Amino acid sequence: MIERILYEKNRIYYHFLFWLGYILFYTVFWGSYEGNYYDQFLQLLFLLPWKIIPTYITLYYLMPKYLYPKKMVMYVVLSLILATSMALIDRYMSWRYVYRWFYFEEGHWKDPVWYFPKILNSLIRVYTPVFVAMAIKLQRFFYQKDQINKTLEKEKVETELKFLKAQIHPHFLFNTLNSIYSLSLAKSAKTPDAVLGLSKFLDYMLYDCNDKLITVEKEWEQLMNLVELERLRYGDNLTITTTLKDDNKESLIPPLLLLPFVENAFKHGADNLIEDSWINIDLKLDNQQLQFMVENSKASAETEAILDSDKNIGLKNVKRRLDLFFPDKHELKILEEPDSFLVKLEIDLSGPSS
């Protein structure tokens, strides 16, 4: 309620300044010819209603009802009727009163009231403030519309990002629980360690992942947690090499951004059909430029189509998240060789999209 009152007070104040500026400008403009500033001021004040009426009818009726909804024919027809009516009234008031009060000796009142050049002159005088007010209102209208569109687009992107991240959580949990299930079936002594590793991940997802951005260092810690979980599962059947070079501990990325690539490497690089399965994970951060590489062995029968199948929710989601967070600031390559897959990701972290 208070905000509405303040808004109305500000609007009245700005409208008052608009008309005051109009009167002062033309008082000085026309009065400077003969030095009759006071007479010009009185004339402008007397004829002001025929400027105010079409201005506010245009601003608060014609524009909202016909111009904004793009009903252009009705807008033009009604504007012409309004303009003609106000110009005729202004002409009549000038002829009947102003010319006789201020220019009696010049004999302007002797011209016919329907004298077309004088009606045209009245039309220009009447619609000068109308056009100026329209220009100001249209500028504000398109500015507000642009701001609303930007807000809606930002909300849409944020909603989509939340949706994508929400999909990653169950996808990862499903895979990790499968790993623990395999260990439990084998009655492995490693099962408690796997459960502990999963609890760390749950803590990460429930708390850290609520942040829009986290440090690269924290993301790497969770990748290593995943690596340790998978080491427990595969043991000596899988060789894992990890390399980290991070010269900037403050660089930020979206949480769970790199996880799907590592997940995917374990899914395809630790296949039972592959002898000497291996995975290489390399992360380098140099002056806000992140280079992330994951390479894994694969069975000869595997194809890239499997790698990027409809069931691979994590990989599809991470591509979309990259597009949303780092438009034109990242490069992702997925290369297939006869016996390996290679994922190379480069990101400019100097300013992730907000």
**pTM to 2 decimal places:** 0.52
- Which residue type occupies 77? V
The candidate with the shortest Cα–Cα distance to 91, out of 155, 47, 137, 134, is 47
Question: Higher-confidence residue: 212 or 296?
Answer: 296
Partner residues linked to 282 by β-bridges: 243, 293
The CA distance from 127 to 80, in Å, is 11
C-alpha dist (Å) from residue 85 to 126, 196, 270: 10, 83, 85
Asked whether residue 148 carries a pLDDT value surpassing 90, the answer given is no
- Residue 169 has what pLDDT? 54
- Residue 306 has what pLDDT? 47
- Give the tokens for residue 77: 């027809």
- Residue 303 has what pLDDT? 47
What is the four-CA torsion angle of 112, 113, 114, 116, rounded to 10 degrees? 80
The CA distance from 107 to 100, in Å, is 8
Handedness of CA 26, 31, 37, 43 (dihedral sign): negative
CA 77-83-87 angle, to 5 degrees, is: 150
Buried b (16+ CB within 10 A) or exposed e, 73-84: eebeebbeebbe
- Give the tokens for residue 260: 């799907």
The mean pLDDT value of the chain amounts to: 79
Q: Which of 50-54, 273-277, 330-334 has the lowest mean pLDDT?
A: 273-277
- Give the tokens for residue 228: 């340790």
The arithmetic mean of pLDDT across residues 95-105, rounded, is: 78
- Residue 165 has what pLDDT? 55
- Residue 310 has what pLDDT? 41
- Give the tokens for residue 221: 């810690």
Partner residues linked to 343 by β-bridges: 294, 334
Are 51 and 23 spatial neighbours (Cβ–Cβ below 8 Å)?
no
Domain boundaries, given as residue ranges, for the chain: 2-149, 235-348
Structure confidence at residue 160 as a pLDDT band (50, 70, 90): low
- Residue 291 has what pLDDT? 93
The candidate with the shortest Cα–Cα distance to 98, out of 75, 120, 127, 118, is 118
Task: Calculate what percentage of the chain has a pLDDT beyond 70.
Answer: 80
The CA distance from 108 to 28, in Å, is 22
The arithmetic mean of pLDDT across residues 136-161, rounded, is: 72
The CA distance from 218 to 208, in Å, is 9
Question: At 136, phi and psi to the nearest 5?
Answer: -65, -45
- Residue 50 has what pLDDT? 87
The CA distance from 242 to 245, in Å, is 10
Q: For 267, left (φ over 0), alpha (ψ -120 to 50), or beta?
A: alpha
- Residue 193 has what pLDDT? 79
Q: Which CATH number fits domain 235-348: 3.80.10.10, 3.40.50.300, 3.40.718.10, 3.30.565.10?
A: 3.30.565.10
